[in-house]
Amino acid sequence: MNAAIPKAEDLSLPQAFLLLATNDKDGEPELPAYVLRTTVAGAILAELDLLGAIAARGKHVRAIGAAPESDFQHELELIREKSRPHTPKRWVSMLEGRGEVHRVYEGMAALGIVEHVGEKHLGLFKSTRYPEKDHAPEAALLQTIQTALGLRPSGATQEGTQPSDAAPEGAQPSDAMPSDAAPAAATQPDARTTALIALLQAAGLLGRLFPEADQNRARELVKNHWPSRAVGDELRLIRLGLADAATT
What CATH class has 8-244? mainly alpha
Quote the distance between the C-alpha of residue 206 and its chain's center: 10
User: Which pLDDT does position 154 carry in this prediction?
Assistant: 41
Average pLDDT over residues 182-209: 87
d(C-alpha 163, C-alpha 59), whole Å: 44
Domain residue ranges of the chain, discontinuous segments joined by +: 8-244
d(C-alpha 238, C-alpha 241), whole Å: 5
pTM above the 0.85 mark? no
Q: Residue 124 — very low, low, confident or very high, per pLDDT cuts 50/70/90?
A: low
d(C-alpha 167, C-alpha 163), whole Å: 6
Q: Under a CB-based contact definition with an 8 Å cutoff, are residues 203 and 246 in contact?
A: no
Average pLDDT over residues 66-88: 90
Q: Which CA distances in Å does 112 have to 21, 44, 122, 146?
A: 17, 21, 29, 25
Q: Under a CB-based contact definition with an 8 Å cutoff, are residues 178 and 247 in contact?
A: no
User: Which pLDDT does position 188 carry in this prediction?
Assistant: 82
Write the pLDDT tens digit of every residue in 140-162. 999 999 999 998 754 444 333 33
Percent of the chain clearing pLDDT 70 (strictly above): 81
d(C-alpha 91, C-alpha 46), whole Å: 11
Alpha-helical regions (H) of the chain: 13-20, 33-50, 73-81, 88-95, 98-111, 136-148, 191-202, 206-209, 215-222, 226-247
